[in-house]
Amino acid sequence: MDTLAHEAEQRLPAPVLTYFRQGAGAGLSAAEAEAHWDALRLLPHVLRDVSTVSTRTSVLGSEVDTPVLVAPTTLQLSAHEEGEVAMLCGAAAAGSLVCVSSNAGVPFTSLADSGPWWVQAYVLRDRQLTVELLDRARQAGATAVVLTADTPVVGRKHNTGPSVWETVPPEHLLANVDQQGVEAARLEKAADLTPATIDWLRSTLGLPVVVKGVLRADDARECVAAGASAVWVSNHGGRQLDGAIATARALRPVADALAGTDAEIYVDGGIRKGRHALTALALGATAVFVGRPTLWALTVGGAAGVQRLLTELTAELAHAMALAGTPDIPSLTRDLVSG
């Protein structure tokens, strides 16, 4: 993973590289994410038949070969000339699924035959523009809406040089929003979201809604009560409230809060090894998402790079499952994690 990141650093323009890597504020939450997964210890089984190990599972009814999925990221056209199309093709070849950013730089229609995907949603101040954008995604094949709930305002980033927004071409963003004649204020993120927003999205689009950015057990319960099909434990890669709890620590209480419900649980943030994925799944996650590593893979190898990354992470997961005495995803239970 470190080698892949280093190769990407040699290819990306400095402002784009900084944007991909940076966290908010002093970067505390971004810097500590991986270490919290590393700190968790496992209690493996022995004398279990692991002659065959399967990583197959399903998310919101979609069958996938791996529970290692691709988180939404923007400026993918700045990483590779095919942007989101290459990301989806690579993920599909690895048997994975992609959550596509609403800031995508390619039309959703170009993703129709590239692989399974969900659409990430920032609700804009202009609700009608939001609905139009998400309906384009639905018509192009998106099978779920991922409501990003932790961004009422954008976390402040510190730049020592030109900001990425001063350097990237405008066509690398918001390819699916008709901005002609639209005041900039209408494109800003809405700060008045409530649990009712979940039902509004679900009823308006007819798609299951996932709420991303959940770190608290009480919020998780409230989201599901309001109609969310899943919650996504995330601190936005440390890019919003600096000092927010690591997802490796937030996952267990959220899973406890949703025990006995039909809601699925996802997690991202610092997952860099197959062992991290195993730990997350054992703690109650239905699937895990990776973000920055997929950008490095896209930058270095396009679709083939993304496929290779996800295939390698899945192979690491399968190897860890065999060593833990767990031949399939349902056998990854809470008692595998010590403490």
Distance CA 209, CA 99 (A): 12
Given the residues 80, 172, 236, 276, the one annotated as active site:
236
Provide the token pair at 148. 């990003």
CB 131 within 8 A of CB 101: no
Distance CA 44, CA 84 (A): 38
Which are the contacts of 42, defined by CB distance < 8 A and separation ≥ 6?
Answer: 275, 278, 279, 282, 324, 336, 337, 338
DSSP for 152-198 reads SSPPP---SS--GGGTS-GGGS-TTS--TT--GGGGSBPS---THHH
- Is 319 assigned a catalytic role? no
CB 266 within 8 A of CB 287: yes
CB 119 within 8 A of CB 108: yes
100, amino acid identity: V
Active site residues: 236
